[in-house]
Amino acid sequence: MIRWAIYSTVFLLISLIPLGLKLFGLGVPSWLLTTPLLALVLALWDLRIMRRQVKALGYLEREADLVVRSGVMWRKQLVIPYGRMQYVEVNSGPLERRYGLCQLTLNTAGSSATAHVYGLPEALGEALRERLVAAGEEQML
């Protein structure tokens, strides 16, 4: 989600270039002056969608499996049995590390199902990974 906010901000700043050129008296087509307004509308729309996307993300640890849900318009719900988990990773990019967040990635054996749990605090992500690995090993025995 942080990535989308950065993209929207950069797009908005780039779209302000025609206004700057017009202020310096350089010839800019009038239709190009509407791009900042369009960029602002798109940025506000992104903010509205982001809130809904964050609310749509979730996971649930159950006795025999993990349920991961995502999606606003196209909803997706994955149910991954602990015994089918092949490996569990905790990743964090530079921005996620800056804010103390991480993402958990779960790959399963025998299928192309990959689940992602985004926006977890680092400590929770590590603890969840340990619990999932322990549950997976228990199911394998």
Residue 126 reports pLDDT greater than 90: yes
User: Is the entire prediction scored with pTM above 0.75?
Assistant: no
What pLDDT shows up at residue 141?
63
- Based on the fold, state whether residues 26 and 88 are members of the same structural domain: no
Tens of pLDDT, residues 98-113: 999 999 999 987 767 7
Tens of pLDDT, residues 127-141: 999 999 999 888 776
Q: How many domains does the chain have?
A: 2
Tens of pLDDT, residues 57-79: 899 999 999 999 988 888 999 99
Among 53, 73, 95, identify where a domain stops: 53
Q: Which domain holds residue 48?
A: 2-53
- Based on the fold, state whether residues 16 and 85 are members of the same structural domain: no
- Based on the fold, state whether residues 107 and 81 are members of the same structural domain: yes
Give the integer Cα–Cα distance in Å for 5 and 79.
Answer: 30
